[in-house]
């Protein structure tokens, strides 16, 4: 993505940078570089911030959403819609919604406690199925960029007959926190929807709604009789740290009526990743008359975990003439810290240990063999300062 002009030192872009491809939805996007300057050898750390532009329009996951509306539903009944997503960040990803003009529905926006805003259809005029069996509307999402970009989805309203009362969840949004690496069949939540009808019309079956993606269906399963949602696949915080599960509760009336709820599952990190070390040797072998502070190697450490589990500290083999100097976040230089004498020690095996802050802590090691190169720092020497020799005459 970036190159440096070897003649004048100017750093320039050599190919298009896609912030969304590089950093996803992260609030900050930075590229870290290490620049090595020769004669004298110096190391510079460069941090390039990639700023977002509004180059992604709002997108809906489907071209058409189907909403089932029984004709007996009361005014102000609410029907959740799937919102749009925008790959940009910040203001460029702030979405507003607009519903096409109609006589029966208005649009309400629900803020799900920091999880984003979601559009909801609110019934404001009763629909007679015999007169209007089907209604087509359009939902448009507009982002906050300049210029603003839009995306839209068709809403197909199908008006159903019969069955007076729909099942009801005790809340529309459930929030669950669970640790990663849970075993299969671990209970996530036990949902319960009630229906005030009698007989078959009050019997409820649970299912994932059409808004629940196939990737989520591979991670969780739902018991259609009891409403239990359980783990059914590997849950890894580093792979994904939250899930939004849309659930339908459908009664057995004719036609059936449906209630909707959303389960927001937050995955908590565990210390299941050891630190990783990348060690780059620079000045090998090292002359025995090298100056103190000479950079021997560059070291970078990382840990896929978050928080204290991802906080890494480094240490060296004791009793070696070297030390670690922190040059930047998670970057170190291995430098000479004491004088060398090849005639005393001609090679050092240096081990770098990186340890995270989790409990229990995980660690990793990397080693570098530092050979000491000879310089002409010793004059010839006789074994003794004076020799006495006796020679017979003749």
State the residue range of the domain holding 348.
Answer: 270-375
Q: Is 129 helix (H, G, I), strand (E, B) or coil?
A: coil
Query: Residue range 263-282: average pLDDT?
Result: 93
Name the pLDDT band for 284 (thresholds 50, 70, 90): confident
Indicate whether 205 belongs to any domain.
yes
Indicate whether 388 belongs to any domain.
no
Identify whether residues 10 and 101 lie together within a single domain.
no
| pLDDT of amino acid 168 | 95
Q: Answer yes or no: is pLDDT of 91 > 90.
A: no
Indicate whether 380 belongs to any domain.
no
What percentage of the chain exceeds 90 in pLDDT? 64
Identify whether residues 341 and 369 lie together within a single domain.
yes
- Tokens 């070291």: give the residue: 299
Q: What is the DSSP string of 190-254?
A: E--EE--S-GGGG-EEEEE-TTS-HHHHHHEEE-TTT-EEEE-S---TTT-SEEEEEEEEEESSS
| pLDDT of amino acid 49 | 80
What percentage of the chain exceeds 70 in pLDDT? 98
Identify whether residues 226 and 143 lie together within a single domain.
no
Identify whether residues 363 and 294 lie together within a single domain.
yes
Identify whether residues 316 and 371 lie together within a single domain.
yes
Name the pLDDT band for 13 (thresholds 50, 70, 90): confident
CB 182 within 8 A of CB 232: no
Instruction: State the Cα–Cα distance between residues 150 and 144, nearest whole angstrom.
Output: 10
Phi, psi at residue 261, to the nearest 5°? -145, 165
Name the pLDDT band for 115 (thresholds 50, 70, 90): low
Last residue of a domain, one of 33, 51, 69: 51
Identify whether residues 282 and 305 lie together within a single domain.
yes
Identify whether residues 353 and 293 lie together within a single domain.
yes
H helix or E strand, kind and range, residue 297 = strand 295-302
Cis peptide before 147 (omega within 30 of 0): yes
Identify whether residues 370 and 329 lie together within a single domain.
yes
Lowest model confidence (mean pLDDT) among 6-10, 150-154, 196-200:
6-10
| pLDDT of amino acid 87 | 83
| Count of domains forming the chain | 4
Indicate whether 262 belongs to any domain.
yes
| pLDDT of amino acid 198 | 78
Rounded to two decimals, the pTM is 0.59
Tell me how far CA of residue 375 lies from CA of 277, 281, 370, 372, in angstroms: 32, 21, 16, 10
Last residue of a domain, one of 268, 286, 305: 268
CB 153 within 8 A of CB 58: no
Q: Answer yes or no: is pLDDT of 114 > 70.
A: no
Please, what is the average pLDDT of the chain? 90
| pLDDT of amino acid 183 | 95
Closest to 43 measured CA to CA, from 343, 297, 377, 222: 297
CATH code at position 202: 2.60.40.60
Tell me how far CA of residue 212 lies from CA of 68, 262, 280, in angstroms: 17, 10, 46
Name the pLDDT band for 199 (thresholds 50, 70, 90): confident
Indicate whether 319 belongs to any domain.
yes
CB burial readout 83-112, b (16+ within 10 A) else e? bbbbbbbeebbebebebeeeebbeeeebee
Instruction: State the Cα–Cα distance between residues 259 and 174, nearest whole angstrom.
Output: 14
Indicate whether 224 belongs to any domain.
yes
pLDDT digits (tens, 9 = 90+) for 129-173: 878 989 999 999 998 888 899 999 999 999 886 677 889 999 999
pLDDT digits (tens, 9 = 90+) for 19-56: 777 777 676 778 777 878 777 778 878 888 877 778 88
Identify whether residues 43 and 63 lie together within a single domain.
no
Contacts of 266 (CB under 8 A, 6+ apart): 175, 176, 177, 178, 241, 242
Q: Answer yes or no: is pLDDT of 2 > 90.
A: no
Instruction: State the Cα–Cα distance between residues 166 and 311, nearest whole angstrom.
Output: 50
Q: Is 22 helix (H, G, I), strand (E, B) or coil?
A: helix
Instruction: State the Cα–Cα distance between residues 275 and 364, nearest whole angstrom.
Output: 6
Identify whether residues 145 and 206 lie together within a single domain.
no
Query: Residue range 319-330: average pLDDT?
Result: 92
Identify whether residues 79 and 152 lie together within a single domain.
yes
Indicate whether 289 belongs to any domain.
yes
CB 10 within 8 A of CB 4: yes
Indicate whether 383 belongs to any domain.
no
Identify whether residues 187 and 145 lie together within a single domain.
no
């Amino acid at each position: 993505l970036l190159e440096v002009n070897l003649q004048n030192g100017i750093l320039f872009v050599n190919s298009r940078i896609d912030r969304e491809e590089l950093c996803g939805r992260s609030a900050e996007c930075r590229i870290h570089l290490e620049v090595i300057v020769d004669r004298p050898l110096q190391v510079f750390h460069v941090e390039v911030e990639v700023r977002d532009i509004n180059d992604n329009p709002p997108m809906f996951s489907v071209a058409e959403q189907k909403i089932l509306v029984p004709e007996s539903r009361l005014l102000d009944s609410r029907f959740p819609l799937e919102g749009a997503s925008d790959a940009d960040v910040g203001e460029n990803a702030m979405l507003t919604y607009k519903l096409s003009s109609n006589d029966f529905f208005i649009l309400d926006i629900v803020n799900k406690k920091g999880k984003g805003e979601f559009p909801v259809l609110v019934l404001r005029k009763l629909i007679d199925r015999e007169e209007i069996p089907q209604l087509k509307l359009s939902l448009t999402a507009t982002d906050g960029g300049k210029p603003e970009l839009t995306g839209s989805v068709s809403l197909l309203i199908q008006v159903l007959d019969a069955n007076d009362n729909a099942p009801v969840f005790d809340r529309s949004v459930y929030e669950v926190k669970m640790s990663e690496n849970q075993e299969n069949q671990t209970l996530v939540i036990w949902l319960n929807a009630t229906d005030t009808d009698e007989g078959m019309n009050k019997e409820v079956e649970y299912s994932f709604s059409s808004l629940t993606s196939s990737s989520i269906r591979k991670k969780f399963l739902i018991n259609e009789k009891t409403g239990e949602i359980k783990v059914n696949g590997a849950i890894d915080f580093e792979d994904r740290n939250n899930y939004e599960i849309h659930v339908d509760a459908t009664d057995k009336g004719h036609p059936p009526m449906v209630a909707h709820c959303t389960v927001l599952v937050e995955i908590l990190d565990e210390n299941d990743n050891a630190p990783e070390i990348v060690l780059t040797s620079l000045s090998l072998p090292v002359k025995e008359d090298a100056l103190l502070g000479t950079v021997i190697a560059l070291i970078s450490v990382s840990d896929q975990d978050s928080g204290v589990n991802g906080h890494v500290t480094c240490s060296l083999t004791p009793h070696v003439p070297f030390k670690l100097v922190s040059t930047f976040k998670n970057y170190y230089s291995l430098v000479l810290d004491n004088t060398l004498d090849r005639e005393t020690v001609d090679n050092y095996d240096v081990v770098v240990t990186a340890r995270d802050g989790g409990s229990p802590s995980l660690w990793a090691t990397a080693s570098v063999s530092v050979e000491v190169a000879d310089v002409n720092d010793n004059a010839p020497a006789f074994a003794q300062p004076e020799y006495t020799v006796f020679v017979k005459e003749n």
